[in-house]
């Protein structure tokens, strides 16, 4: 029973609509112009050509670990990371902020192992579906391409809807207009600079994100008259628990890991996170873009750094909003936020507006805008690669230059569609919270087959294909049954509630893996990786140069002849049957690539599995479960230590993401600055720069 007054009111807007449009259009235009300038600088003074397919889609596979780490943090910091973590913490207490961090971090760390395998066995690929096509053939290729595009639509909807709802709540800017303006502004600089542009803008976005996060932390925990210290926050939260105790929490407290709602949220987050990493082409593209010797290190750093963001931000903003409901400056005072406002992600804006007034509203506006644009830029590149490589280019050979042209067209068209898609979701009353919970249901069935495609030589095409379909069927059935049994009625609202979501996500993940393992055990493959290692991306005007193309006639005949043999045998036979002038150079190049020491990469793979496993064990089991089982309610001192650790972790993460990229690229920055100076003196000699 809540002790707050019954009722609700509209969110108090502290800024005029012009502020919202100014951020979306003005800041977006600034980044677009800055990126166009940097791209022209790169094209003129380095040997990196933004118009080449390799540079546009993979950043020449030479991005250093600091920038990859920064890109991972930026791409995984969606609007939902900031808004959903604080909303769940507001509702269920501090355990939700921790579980959100767990649910997104362990996937990134385990993906580090996948990244080592990508470099080891498919270093020339651009997208995951083309790896599946080279290994399994067209049925799996079509299936996984569909899953990856569904993931892109869910991610895009989450990013745009979350940002638009926040901008509307703070400024009154029209949601529909914001839905269209946001992705269009991003498309300009992505078209100009390709994947490297997203990395550079990721860095700028991440710097701003951490600076604003530090402002919130030190304002709420330090300088604010409303809260002012972790101890004062503790006292306010004790009063909040007396007014509105949390059902399922130990003593109804917001300061305990014994939270039924929190651990349920954790399960949904882990399922959603696995789907969001394994099936997001943006992560595969970053792994492909990185240097082979540093791929895994970059992903590990990215995972460790990202964990601090939902933990620190969710804790300070979610608990801060709960603690300040009774403050007259609270945007819905004297009422608590309504369920619709919480689901729309307005908890963090409420805390920011209460603690800092208009300054807080501007800060949250910027941080949500940065999160949305950074991750959305990665999705634009990801979708353009999927459409160009796996829809247009898969069955119609394209030259490298045509791939860049089609990528530009797809980016512009998808940015327009992103606005239309977000508008459709808005009118269907589907918001950020709905997409967050449903993501795990729809996508988890493909997670294990996708991971095993690059990590195991034993998984056959039948295991990958039918395992995914079986898991999807089980997940959808579990989703509907869980919704009906727990909530009594199947409708749009109930389908995105936690118990319904976990009822679909868990069987989808488990049953797809089980089916894949059983089929593999019955008839295992013995794949030799030759066809995936032969994939390459051409920058020439000759269509499909250096790229494997399956001849439909010969492939069909060979499949008939070899249907009882392992997939690897069929793939090898297809390679042998193809024009040696096409396949042989790719195989020879892959074999001679000095950067690919596969023995070293195998050791990196094993080491990353150990590190990921230990880290996952610590943050998912060793720390939270004993506190959950013991029903421990934080003391004032323990809460202060908990907050202090979150602040220290986020400070270290900011150091990794801000200082490391600059330090690693100090030589290249100097060369570019020196080259720009040469323009003024009439000297324009090119130099090799790999930043």
DSSP sequence for 241-263 = HHHSPPTTBGGG-SSBS-BHHHH
In a domain, 208, yes or no: yes
∠429-435-441 over CA atoms, to 5°? 125
Residue 346 has pLDDT above 80, yes or no: yes
Rounded to an integer, the average pLDDT of 572-596 is: 39
Residue 687 token pair: 């130099």
Q: Do 312 and 484 contact (CB within 8 A), yes or no?
A: no
Residue 594 has pLDDT above 50, yes or no: no
pLDDT at residue 541, as a whole number: 45
Residue 290 has pLDDT above 50, yes or no: yes
Output DSSP code: residue 565.
Answer: S
pLDDT at residue 193, as a whole number: 63
In a domain, 344, yes or no: yes
Percent of the chain at pLDDT > 70 equals: 82
Residue 110 has pLDDT above 90, yes or no: no
Element (H, E) at 482: helix 461-487
Taking the C-alpha atoms of residue 197 and residue 688, their distance in angstroms, rounded to an integer, is 18
Residue 687 has pLDDT above 50, yes or no: no
Q: How many angstroms separate the Cα of 281 from the Cα of each of 50, 148, 290, 381?
A: 20, 7, 14, 9
In a domain, 470, yes or no: no
In a domain, 11, yes or no: no
pLDDT tens-digit series, residues 235-269 = 999 999 999 999 999 999 999 999 999 999 888 88
Structural domain count, the chain: 1
pLDDT at residue 591, as a whole number: 38
Residue ranges making up the domain that contains 217: 17-457+525-681
Residue 524, class by beta-carbon neighbours within 10 Å (0-12 exposed, 13-18 middle, 19+ buried)? Answer: middle
In a domain, 329, yes or no: yes
pLDDT tens-digit series, residues 403-462 = 888 888 999 999 999 999 999 999 988 887 888 889 989 999 999 999 999 988 999 999
pLDDT band at 286 (very low <50, low <70, confident <90, very high): confident
Within 10 A of 487 (CB to CB), how many other CB atoms are there?
A: 15
Q: Which candidate, 421, 430, 415, places its Cα nearest to that of 383? A: 415
pLDDT band at 544 (very low <50, low <70, confident <90, very high): very low
Taking the C-alpha atoms of residue 365 and residue 164, their distance in angstroms, rounded to an integer, is 10
Residue 184 token pair: 């269009």
pLDDT tens-digit series, residues 608-658 = 888 888 998 999 999 999 999 999 999 999 999 999 999 999 999 998 888
Lowest mean pLDDT across 136-140, 299-303, 598-602: 598-602
pLDDT at residue 59, as a whole number: 47
Residue 104 has pLDDT above 70, yes or no: yes
∠387-388-389 over CA atoms, to 5°? 100
Taking the C-alpha atoms of residue 215 and residue 526, their distance in angstroms, rounded to an integer, is 55
pLDDT tens-digit series, residues 308-318 = 999 999 999 99
Between 558 and 494, name the one with better pLDDT.
Answer: 494
In a domain, 160, yes or no: yes
In a domain, 185, yes or no: yes
Rounded to an integer, the average pLDDT of 201-226 is: 89
Residue 162 token pair: 């979350």
Q: Which candidate, 335, 322, 338, 348, places its Cα nearest to that of 238? A: 322
Instruction: With H, G, I as helix, E, B as strand and everything else as coil, classify residue 329.
Output: coil
- Sorted by sequence, the CB contacts under 8 Å of residue 659 that are 6+ apart come out as none
Q: Do 50 and 42 contact (CB within 8 A), yes or no?
A: yes
In a domain, 249, yes or no: yes
Residue 537 has pLDDT above 70, yes or no: no
- Domain containing residue 366: CATH number: 1.20.1730.10
Q: Do 275 and 269 contact (CB within 8 A), yes or no?
A: no
Rounded to an integer, the average pLDDT of 216-224 is: 92
Q: Do 371 and 209 contact (CB within 8 A), yes or no?
A: yes
Half-sphere exposure of 635 (CA within 13 A, CB side): 2
Query: What region does 429 belong to: left with phi over 0, alpha with psi -120 to 50, or beta?
Result: left
Residue 376 token pair: 């959305």
Taking the C-alpha atoms of residue 95 and residue 624, their distance in angstroms, rounded to an integer, is 8
> In b/e form, how buried is each residue of 318-344, taking b as 16+ CB within 10 angstroms?
bbbbbbbbeeebbbbbebbbbeebbbb
């Amino acid at each position: 029973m809540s002790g707050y007054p019954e009722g609700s009111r509209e969110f108090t807007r502290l800024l005029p609509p012009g502020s919202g449009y100014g951020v979306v259009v003005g800041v977006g235009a600034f980044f677009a112009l800055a990126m166009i300038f940097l791209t022209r600088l790169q094209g003129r003074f380095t040997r990196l050509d933004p118009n080449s397919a390799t540079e546009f889609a993979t950043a020449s596979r030479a991005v250093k670990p600091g920038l990859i780490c920064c890109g991972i943090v930026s791409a995984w910091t969606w609007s939902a990371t900031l808004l959903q973590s604080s909303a769940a913490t507001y509702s269920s207490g501090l355990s939700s902020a921790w579980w959100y961090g767990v649910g997104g971090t362990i996937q990134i760390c385990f993906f580090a192992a996948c990244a080592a395998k990508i470099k080891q066995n498919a270093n020339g690929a651009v997208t995951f579906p083309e790896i599946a096509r080279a290994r399994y053939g067209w049925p799996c290729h079509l299936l996984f391409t569909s899953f990856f595009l569904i993931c892109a639509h869910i991610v895009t909807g989450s990013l745009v809807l979350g940002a638009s709802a926040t901008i509307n709540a703070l400024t009154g800017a029209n949601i529909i207009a914001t839905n269209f303006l946001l992705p269009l502004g991003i498309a300009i600089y992505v078209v100009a600079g390709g994947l490297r542009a997203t990395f550079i803008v990721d860095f700028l976005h991440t710097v701003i994100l951490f600076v604003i996060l530090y402002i919130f932390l030190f304002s709420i925990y330090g300088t604010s008259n409303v809260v002012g210290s972790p101890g004062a926050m503790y006292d306010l939260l004790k009063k909040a628990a007396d007014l509105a105790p949390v059902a399922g929490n130990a003593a109804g407290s917001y300061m305990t890991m014994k939270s039924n709602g929190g651990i349920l949220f954790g399960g949904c987050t882990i399922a959603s996170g696995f789907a969001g990493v394994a099936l997001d082409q943006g992560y595969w593209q970053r792994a492909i873009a990185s240097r082979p010797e540093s791929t895994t290190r970059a992903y590990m750093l990215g995972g460790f750094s990202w964990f601090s963001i939902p933990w620190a931000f969710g804790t300070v903003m979610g608990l801060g909003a709960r603690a300040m409901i009774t403050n007259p400056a609270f945007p819905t005072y004297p009422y608590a936020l309504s369920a619709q406002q919480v689901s729309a992600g307005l908890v963090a804006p409420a805390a920011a507006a209460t603690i800092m007034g208009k300054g807080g509203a501007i800060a949250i506006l910027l941080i949500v805008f940065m999160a949305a644009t950074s991750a959305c830029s990665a999705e634009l590149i990801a979708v353009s690669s999927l459409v160009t490589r796996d829809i247009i280019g898969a069955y119609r050979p394209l030259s490298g230059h045509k791939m860049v042209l089609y990528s530009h067209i797809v980016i512009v068209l998808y940015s327009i569609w992103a606005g239309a898609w977000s508008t459709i979701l808005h009118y269907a009353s589907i918001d950020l919270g709905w997409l967050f919970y449903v993501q795990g249901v729809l996508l988890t069935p493909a997670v294990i087959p996708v991971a095993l495609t690059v990590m195991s030589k034993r998984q056959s095409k039948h295991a990958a294909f039918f395992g995914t379909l079986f898991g999807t069927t089980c997940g959808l059935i579990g989703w509907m049954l869980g919704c009906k049994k727990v909530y009594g009625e199947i409708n749009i609202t109930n389908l995105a509630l936690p118990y319904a979501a976990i009822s679909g996500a868990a069987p989808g993940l488990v049953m797809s893996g089980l089916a894949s393992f059983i089929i593999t055990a019955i008839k295992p493959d013995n794949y030799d990786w030759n066809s995936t290692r032969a994939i390459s991306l051409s920058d020439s005007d000759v269509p499909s140069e250096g790229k494997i193309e399956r001849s439909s006639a010969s492939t069909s005949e060979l499949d008939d002849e070899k249907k009882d043999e392992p997939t690897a045998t069929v793939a090898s036979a297809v390679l042998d049957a193809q024009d040696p002038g096409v396949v042989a150079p790719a195989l020879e190049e892959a074999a001679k690539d000095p950067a690919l020491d596969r023995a070293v990469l195998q050791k990196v793979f094993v080491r990353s599995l150990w590190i990921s496993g230990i880290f996952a064990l610590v943050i998912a089991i060793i720390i939270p479960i004993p506190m959950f089982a013991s029903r421990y309610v934080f003391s004032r001192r323990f809460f202060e230590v908990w907050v202090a650790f979150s602040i220290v972790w986020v400070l270290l993460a900011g150091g990794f993401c801000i200082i490391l990229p600059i330090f690693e690229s100090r030589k290249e920055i100097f060369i570019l600055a020196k080259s720009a100076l040469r323009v003024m003196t009439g000297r324009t000699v090119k130099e090799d720069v790999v930043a």
